[in-house]
Amino acid sequence: MLRDRIARALPAWDEGMLGWHALLGMHAFGLEECGDYDSAERQGRRSVELEPRDSWGWHAVAHVLEMRHAPGDGIAWLQPNSGTWAAGSFLGCHNWWHLALYHLELDDHDEVLALYDRAIGGTGSAVVLDMVDASALLWRLMLRGVEVGGRWQTLAERWASLADAGWYAFNDLHAMIAFVGAGRQADERRLLDAQSRVVSEGGDNGMFTREVGHPAAMAMAAFGDGDYRRAVELLREIRGHAQRDLIDLSLLEGALRGGQQGLALGLAFERRSLRPVSALGQRSWRRALALPRGG
């Protein structure tokens, strides 16, 4: 739908009409999500040419460069132009997050933390979309063994009022991540109880929570408790859903920490194949090889 509902509207528009850039930017993101990276990049870049502040155009191309595993190109796309796409944009924080992911792929952890403090989690934003990005970035750093200081506590405090809201399974996952990072087990329990309530109530969110959100939240709680095999068991069932890279990274790290060599080797090779120049992929492969056989 991200791609096709915009495609159905395009014939009624043309380049001379006000707002044409917005359709191109939205269509570009739909194309990217469907794997048509060449068309997505063309549409996104054209959107930005027509309107340099079109956030969806910047965002769509950022996604393309992430999926093509081109962090250097991603930095060149976003960093010199931040004064254009960031100011006053609802997607500003999210595009800063994309920039941070490129630096993370290059192991530039100091720059990632600087971006977090300046534009992602350190702003104090209570907008849920911004908190989602903050959780997702700190979790990736944690998986790499990077010390983040008191950032988890500050972020978890902002999530605490939503622990038992049960509004949206995707948000629940990122709230749980913050509670695990901060060691707030009471909030973890509140969130899991709220999810159980939502599942019993039915509806779309109940279905999403039952099939994906609750297993994901339980997996992160198990990871925080050091029960890596339980985390792996839960995460293997939900691969391929939203935030798939965060889930895949957690699954890989859980297999490594849990001593599951066969699974860790497979996952590490999978990542190394997709990202052949990734330092993280290479490190994960070496760690998997060093595990005792038969784990």
- Name all contacts of 63-67 with Cβ < 8 Å and 24+ positions apart: 63/29, 63/32, 63/33, 63/98, 64/32, 64/37, 64/40, 65/102, 66/98, 66/101, 66/102, 67/32, 67/37
End-to-end alpha-carbon separation of the chain, Å?
Answer: 42
**For range 247-261, the mean pLDDT:** 97
pLDDT, one tens digit per residue, over 114-168 is 999 999 999 999 999 999 999 999 999 999 999 999 999 999 999 999 999 999 9
Lowest mean pLDDT among 43-52, 249-258, 270-279: 270-279
Rounded distance between C-alpha atoms, residue 24 and residue 32, angstroms: 12
Q: Dump strand ranges (E) for the chain.
A: none
Share of the chain above pLDDT 90, in %: 95
Q: Is the dihedral of CA 52, 86, 60, 127 positive or negative?
A: negative
Would you put residue 125 in left (φ > 0), alpha (ψ -120 to 50) or beta?
Answer: beta
Checking if the pLDDT of 239 tops 90, the result is no
pLDDT in tens, 4-34: 999 999 999 999 999 999 999 999 999 999 9
In this prediction, residue 294 has a pLDDT band, given cuts at 50, 70 and 90, of confident
* pTM of the shown model: 0.95
At residue 240, does pLDDT exceed 80?
no
Q: Domain spans of the chain?
A: 121-258
Residue type, 69: H
90-118 pLDDT tens trace: 999 999 999 999 999 999 999 999 999 99
Q: What is the pLDDT of residues 184-214, one digit of tens each?
A: 999 999 999 999 999 999 899 999 999 999 9
Where does the pLDDT of residue 73 fall: very low under 50, low under 70, confident under 90, or very high at 90 and above?
Answer: very high
Q: What is the pLDDT of residue 243?
A: 58
Q: In the chain, what percentage of residues exceed pLDDT 70?
A: 98
Where does the pLDDT of residue 241 fall: very low under 50, low under 70, confident under 90, or very high at 90 and above? low
Half-sphere exposure of 266 (CA within 13 A, CB side): 8
